[in-house]
Amino acid sequence: MVQWPTLYMFLQSMANAISIGSLYALVAIGYTMVYGILRLINFAHGDIFMMSMYFAFYLVAAFALPWYISFPLAILATGIMGIIVERSAYRPLRDAPRISLLISSIGVSYLFQNFAVVVFSGIQKQFPQVPFLQEMVVIGKVRIQVLTFVMPVVTAVFVAALLFLVNKTKVGMAMRASSKDFETSRLMGIDVNRIISVTFAVGSMLAALGAIMWGLKYPKIDPYVGSMPGLKCFIAAVIGGIGNINGAVVGAMLLGFIEIMIVLFLPALSAYKDAFAFVALIAILLFRPTGLLGEKKADKV
Amino acid sequence: MKRLVAIGLVFAMALTALAGCGGGGGGGQTSGGGGGGETDVIKIGVFQPLTGAYSAGGTIEVQGVDLAKKYCEEKFGKLLGKEVELVIVDNKSDTVEAATAAAKLVEDDKVDIVLGSWGSGLCMAGGDSFKNSKTIAIGASCTNPNVTIGNDYYYRICFLDPFQGTVLANYAYNTLGATKVAAIYEATNDYAVGLYNFFKEAFETLGGEIVETQMYQTEDQDFNSQILTVMAKEPEIIFAPGVESAAAIMMRQTREAGYNDVIFMGGDTWETPMLIDLGGEFVEGCIVTTFFDPAAPLNDITAEFVELYTAEYGTPPAAFTALGFDSYLTAFQAITEAGSTDSDAIMAVLENIVVKGVTGDIAFNEIGDAIKNMAVLKTVQNGEFVFMDTVTIE
Amino acid sequence: MKSNSSNKKMGLSTILTIASLIGIVVLLYMIDQHGFLGSYWTRVLRLSGVYAISALSMNLVNGFTGQFSLGHAGFMAIGAYVTSLLIIPTPNKAIQYYVTPVLDFVGKMHAPFWLALILGGLLAAIAAFFIGFPVLRLKGDYLAIATLGFSEIIRIFITNLIPITNGPMGLKNIPASANIWWTTGICTLTVVFMLRLMDTSYGRAIKAIRDDETAAEAMGISLFRHKMMAFMMGAFFAGVSGGLIASVVGTINPGFFRFTLAYEILLIVVLGGLGSITGSVVGAFVLTISREWLRFLDNGFSILGIIKVPPIAGMRMLFFSVLLMIVILYSRRGLFGSNEFTWAGLFAFPGKWKNKAANLFDSAKQKAGRKK
């Protein structure tokens, strides 16, 4: 049952796991940021991911822009879309119970999927390719895409920038304050609505960045392409401790390793691959209910 | 108060919109009373997933049906002196929705015959409605044997998984001389699981060996672990039945991992322009079974079809489009020969019919499956599907 | 004097209830025997009834006990598979397993429909017991994601246990035993059960847990036991509704029971009103019927004869999701809030609406004042 891989297979798998993990991480951070501030599982995050893939596609296909212009534009457009979504679907429910917010996010997710089917049709499209990122680097026998080196770097840079934003800047301070308590923050003169908008914009732009990386690695776009990455990355965020940026990265890397390594060591279980992610999730929730790096919170009585 | 006004306005707008279509548009919709008495049109129901996970497949099949309607109008004019109306319903790639959509077709729209659907599970969901209302359904691409078994009213024009599996196994063993085959297939797809099992059975009977089997789920896009595991056993061929997008990405990852010699084989789902779009240079050399070959037309219709399609959509047609086209041709010819839209009359005709279709001659056996003993094998060369061989199994 | 009038009202509402029940039975008889609605709309009503049962079962856990569970698709899958395997005629079963032969035991088992439904529900409840043991300690979003995980695990197992479930090839020829009497009947039974349950000390206890866990615990209510009971009862009814849906549709496959199914049921529950039995039933009927009714949008339409929209697939679902968003945003407590339908409420409705409007107006004024 257990397959003992050769050193080459193991190293190659390590490389694969790192590249998947850093992909998951970018999207997971978006979840975590939104959750951290609104306590909302943004079920529409995967669909924002999907929409940004279409943005990037149409900017290249319809306007014939080179990738280095169209990708940043797509990221920007997604950020604006994030703000619009927040204003129209989440802000009106600010004082409503949390479940209304959650339902609203499911509604937004439905809306985006159905919108994409009507506007872009269900036929798959191919994500624009950037040849030099898809070259292979050969080290010994192990072959690694250039993209695989780029992804962890991009992730690391953005995590560092985010940590700086959250921990060192005024906006970040306001974010942290708002995540603790809206009312008090308001009293302290923080424009909570603006902070939430910023958070959504940043979260959505990270999803867009993740989507572009995803598209370069797995070049299929269809209206449902966001749902599985959305779910997986959400799981990653929960495993790491939702609301915690470092946690999201740790959770995403862990999930990437679990998925790759279990198929490598236990090939007979490849049909159950998706189940592992959930088993890992449940196991971690049971032993550390707030995730690996989550803070333990006492109930207010 | 402002809110109430807003809600009121939105609903008023919605209502006027709805009222508008009742009066003005409503092309495909029969208004209540007219349904039964109307006899100046023949209604052909198109039962397809146009949204949801299978929407790509459903959409390209509908293209074929649309094209066939135009083709027949031009070539044969009216059907029994009546206009043909296509009633397209979306079954949303969802079993429950499919059952309801089928009931709507036969009960509410009162269609005379049904074409579709992509996805055998969806066909089975609609099957009971068609059977109970005695409406004939012609499936285009549903390859699961269960669709027609126990349902006298369901016919299909494609070949079945057991046949396709045998063809591929024979070609792999006899023509390519392969003895070691590995499989990576889609575990959540009835088509892929069925095809894999029939391939395995046939290949092992011939004397070959399946050295490793790996599975993946529909939404998976990373196959690197499966590829590593499989390639450790050094197979000559990877048999990978499943959806074309997964196959394209899998081939890409295999080539990128440095395995350039192993040959990929798959079934009819692969033969779509999307495989080449997504896979690019990486899908070169893969082998697929399919139903027809535009370059070596089985008959005149094939050539006409390819020309029509390319003029309309600008790309070469997928195999499913051809099947959609043929399902319409079959319905058209059956109704013409029966001289009426009565199901019993059509059924009697279908027993002995021979339809000259894009995918060859179509005739049905007693179960309602197309009698096909020949499959076309194609490969990808320079970004195009090219004809390789035909395999005939008696 | 006062008690007299309330007695009189009581009498009136009892009469009205009995009258409307008789009305429903007559209507069902017309539908069943005389094809009053045609099989298409009858099917929609049957489905609505089934969805009402799933919505009620979800409401029991999410709305009344306040435990946010998204595992319903899994429990429905268990119920659907158990029921189907028990009611598919045995000679028919073997043919369907064309890839891997069916397990001998599974191939031979058979039971009448009512027993199959109960067994399906029971098995779902047993599964809920084992799942609930670890996960019911979790709260809020964590509970939601853990139950969702379990429901996906159930689905993945069903997909891969081919000798038992026929895997992705699905099951077909499931006898259509669940006619409109069955679906409406079981739906009514579920409603009665829920209404009764809410009147018992158990019902009050779970509502206390919803409102404030800590306070409920301080009052001596065993949190775990009550949550577990609610979770298992919810799973039981979800299983029954799964069995019914299998029989209404006639075929099932694992793909139908994805976690998105739980979202759809959650939408029904929230649209109707969390914690409202009437709401779940009305929500199920409204959503299921409107989704079918909107089908004409897929065929192209024109707005006031001016703007012509060509046939585009998915238009219906787009419009449906826009409507849904409007309801979510503007009627956030759902159609019924946590209230129930009463005859007195119906008669007081116009006046109440006026009050509600006035309240909204006042609060808007207050808000405006606060902003200044």
Report pLDDT digits (tens) over B151-169: 899 999 988 888 889 999 9
- The answer to whether residue B354 is domain-embedded is yes
pLDDT of residue C138: 87
Question: Is there a contact between C97 and C168 (Cβ–Cβ < 8 Å)?
Answer: no
- The answer to whether residue B119 is domain-embedded is yes
Tokens of A284: 């971690």
Q: Distance from C213 to chain B by nearest Cα, in Å? A: 34
Q: Does A289 touch chain C (CB under 8 A)?
A: yes
Which range (A6-15, C42-51, C98-107, C333-342) has the least confidence? Answer: C333-342
One domain for residues B70 and B137: yes
Q: Does B132 touch chain C (CB under 8 A)?
A: yes
pLDDT of residue C362: 63
Mean pLDDT of B52-61: 86
Give the percent of chain B with pLDDT over 90.
47
Query: Is C328 in Cβ contact with A100 (below 8 Å)?
Result: yes
Give the percent of chain C with pLDDT over 90.
45
Question: Is there a contact between A243 and A34 (Cβ–Cβ < 8 Å)?
Answer: no
- The answer to whether residue B2 is domain-embedded is no
C370 pLDDT band, cuts 50/70/90, is low
Q: Distance from A16 to chain B by nearest Cα, in Å? A: 7
Mean pLDDT of chain A: 88
Q: Is residue C280 over pLDDT 90?
A: yes
Q: Specify the CATH number for the domain of residue C118.
A: 1.10.3470
Q: Does C258 touch chain B (CB under 8 A)?
A: no
When scoring C98, C161, C177 by the number of chain B Cβ atoms within 10 A, the one with the most, hence best to mutate, is C98
One domain for residues B260 and B305: no
Q: Does C140 touch chain B (CB under 8 A)?
A: no
Mean pLDDT of B170-180: 93
Question: Is there a contact between C144 and C69 (Cβ–Cβ < 8 Å)?
Answer: yes
Query: Is C150 in Cβ contact with A117 (below 8 Å)?
Result: no
Q: What range does the domain containing B258 cover?
A: 162-290+376-392
Helix (H) or strand (E) holding B391: strand B384-392
- The answer to whether residue C23 is domain-embedded is yes
One domain for residues B262 and B382: yes
Query: Is B187 in Cβ contact with A260 (below 8 Å)?
Result: no
- CA geometry: angle B216, B122, B33, nearest 5 deg: 155
Q: What range does the domain containing C24 cover?
A: 18-363
- The answer to whether residue C287 is domain-embedded is yes
Query: Is B28 in Cβ contact with C296 (below 8 Å)?
Result: yes
Q: Maximum Cα–Cα distance for chain A, whole Å?
A: 62
When scoring B97, B188, B224, B230 by the number of chain A Cβ atoms within 10 A, the one with the most, hence best to mutate, is B224
- The answer to whether residue B266 is domain-embedded is yes
Mean pLDDT of C137-154: 89
Question: Is there a contact between B45 and B327 (Cβ–Cβ < 8 Å)?
Answer: no
Q: Distance from C211 to chain A by nearest Cα, in Å? A: 13
Q: Is residue B56 over pLDDT 90?
A: no
Q: Is residue B297 over pLDDT 70?
A: no
Q: Residues 217-276, chain A: which have Cβ within 8 Å of C?
A: 227, 231, 234-235, 238, 242, 271-272, 274-275
Report pLDDT digits (tens) over B356-379: 888 888 899 999 999 887 788 999
Report pLDDT digits (tens) over B216-238: 988 888 999 999 999 999 999 99
One domain for residues B198 and B247: yes
- The answer to whether residue C2 is domain-embedded is no
The full length of chain A comes to: 301
Q: Does C315 touch chain B (CB under 8 A)?
A: no
Interface confidence, given as ipTM, is 0.89
Query: Is A13 in Cβ contact with B224 (below 8 Å)?
Result: yes
Report pLDDT digits (tens) over C210-240: 988 889 999 888 999 999 999 999 999 999 9
- The answer to whether residue C371 is domain-embedded is no
SS3 B186: strand
Q: By C-alpha distance, which of B341, B337, B362, B312 is closest to B45?
A: B341
Q: By C-alpha distance, which of C138, C85, C113, C132 is closest to C244?
A: C113
Q: Residues 40-59, chain A: which have Cβ within 8 Å of C?
A: 41, 43
Query: Is C314 in Cβ contact with B50 (below 8 Å)?
Result: yes
Mean pLDDT of chain C: 86
One domain for residues B177 and B146: no
pLDDT of residue A136: 87
Which range (B198-212, C83-97, C119-133) has the least confidence? Answer: C83-97
Query: Is A273 in Cβ contact with B55 (below 8 Å)?
Result: no
Rounded to whole angstroms, the Cα distance separating B291 from A213 reads 37
Query: Is C146 in Cβ contact with A89 (below 8 Å)?
Result: no
pLDDT of residue B287: 94
Give the percent of chain C with pLDDT over 70.
89
A255 or C347: whose pLDDT is higher?
A: A255
Name every chain B residue with its beta carbon within 8 A of the beta carbon of A139. Answer: none
Report pLDDT digits (tens) over A115-125: 998 898 888 88
Q: Is residue A149 over pLDDT 60?
A: yes
Q: Specify the CATH number for the domain of residue B171.
A: 3.40.50.2300
pLDDT of residue B389: 85
Instruction: Tell whether omega for the bond before A13 is within 30 degrees of 0, i.e. cis.
Output: no
Which range (A264-273, B317-326, C151-160, C349-358) has the least confidence? Answer: C349-358
Q: Which residues pair with B115 in a beta bridge?
A: B46, B138
Rounded to whole angstroms, the Cα distance separating B110 from B328 reads 18
Report pLDDT digits (tens) over B10-27: 444 444 444 434 333 333
Domains and CATH numbers, chain A: 7-287 (1.10.3470)
Rounded to whole angstroms, the Cα distance separating C40 from B246 reads 37
Q: Is residue A59 over pLDDT 70?
A: yes
Q: Does B189 touch chain C (CB under 8 A)?
A: yes
Mean pLDDT of B74-82: 89
Number of domains chain B is built from: 2
Residue of A nearest to C264 (CA): A106
Query: Is A100 in Cβ contact with C270 (below 8 Å)?
Result: yes
One domain for residues B166 and B155: no
Q: What is the pTM of this model?
A: 0.89
One domain for residues B232 and B178: yes
Mean pLDDT of B198-212: 94
Query: Is C150 in Cβ contact with A115 (below 8 Å)?
Result: no
Report pLDDT digits (tens) over A42-51: 889 999 999 9
pLDDT of residue B32: 36
pLDDT of residue B12: 47
How is chain B split among helix, strand and coil, in percent rounded to 5? 50, 20, 30
Which other chains touch chain A, taking contact as 3+ CB pairs less than 8 Å apart? B, C
Which other chains touch chain C, taking contact as 3+ CB pairs less than 8 Å apart? A, B
- The answer to whether residue C25 is domain-embedded is yes
Query: Is C245 in Cβ contact with B127 (below 8 Å)?
Result: no
- The answer to whether residue C86 is domain-embedded is yes
C114 pLDDT band, cuts 50/70/90, is very high
One domain for residues B387 and B253: yes
Q: Is residue C55 over pLDDT 50?
A: yes
C35 pLDDT band, cuts 50/70/90, is confident
pLDDT of residue B235: 95
CA C118 from centre of chain: 17
Mean pLDDT of C177-189: 91
Residue of A nearest to B251 (CA): A218
A and C: number of Cβ contacts within 8 A: 112
Rounded to whole angstroms, the Cα distance separating C314 from A118 reads 5
One domain for residues B284 and B380: yes
pLDDT of residue B7: 43
Residue found by looking up tokens 């306590």 in the block = A39
- The answer to whether residue C240 is domain-embedded is yes
CA C1 from centre of chain: 42
Q: Does B152 touch chain C (CB under 8 A)?
A: no
Name every chain A residue with its beta carbon within 8 A of the beta carbon of C145. Answer: 41, 234-235, 238, 281, 285
Rounded to whole angstroms, the Cα distance separating A51 from A230 reads 12
Q: What is the 3-state secondary structure (H, E, C) of chain C?
A: CHHHHHHHHHHHHHHHHHHHHHHHHHHHHHHHHHCCCHHHHHHHHHHHHHHHHHHHHHHHHHHHCCCCCCCHHHHHHHHHHHHHHHHCCHHHHHHHCCCCCCCHHHHHCCCCHHHHHHHHHHHHHHHHHHHHHHHCCCCHHHHHHHHHHHHHHHHHHHHHCHHHHCHHHCECCCCCCCCHHHHHHHHHHHHHHHHHHHHCHHHHHHHHHHHCHHHHHHCCCCHHHHHHHHHHHHHHHHHHHHHHHHHHHCCECHHHHCHHHHHHHHHHHHHHCCCCHHHHHHHHHHHHHHHHHHHHHHHCEEECCCEEECCCCCHHHHHHHHHHHHHHHHCCCCCCCCCCCCHHHHHCHHHHHHHHHHHHHHHHHHHHHHHC
Mean pLDDT of B189-202: 91
Question: Letter for the amino acid at A218?
Answer: Y
Q: Is residue C61 over pLDDT 80?
A: yes
Compute chain B's Rg from CA coordinates. Answer: 22
Name every chain A residue with its beta carbon within 8 A of the beta carbon of C320. Answer: 114
Rounded to whole angstroms, the Cα distance separating C126 from C113 reads 20
Which range (A101-115, A191-205, C8-22, C219-233) has the least confidence? Answer: C8-22
Number of domains chain C is built from: 1
Q: Which residues pair with C183 in a beta bridge?
A: none
Q: Between A12, A218, A227, which is nearest B249 by CB? A: A218
Rounded to whole angstroms, the Cα distance separating B116 from B136 reads 11
One domain for residues B175 and B140: no
Query: Is B55 in Cβ contact with A121 (below 8 Å)?
Result: yes
Q: Does B99 touch chain C (CB under 8 A)?
A: yes
When scoring A95, A99, A112 by the number of chain C Cβ atoms within 10 A, the one with the most, hence best to mutate, is A99
Q: Is residue C352 over pLDDT 70?
A: no
Q: Is residue C2 over pLDDT 50?
A: no
pLDDT of residue B184: 95
- The answer to whether residue B5 is domain-embedded is no
Q: Between C140, C312, C332, which is nearest A118 by CB? A: C312
Question: Is there a contact between B385 and B288 (Cβ–Cβ < 8 Å)?
Answer: yes
* Phi, psi at A44, each rounded to 5°: -85, 0
Mean pLDDT is highest, among C8-12, C142-146, C300-304, for: C142-146
B293 or B128: whose pLDDT is higher?
A: B128
One domain for residues B184 and B96: no
- The answer to whether residue C111 is domain-embedded is yes
- The answer to whether residue B92 is domain-embedded is yes
When scoring B4, B96, B195 by the number of chain C Cβ atoms within 10 A, the one with the most, hence best to mutate, is B96
One domain for residues B91 and B102: yes
Query: Is B55 in Cβ contact with A123 (below 8 Å)?
Result: yes
Give the percent of chain B with pLDDT over 70.
89
C367 pLDDT band, cuts 50/70/90, is low
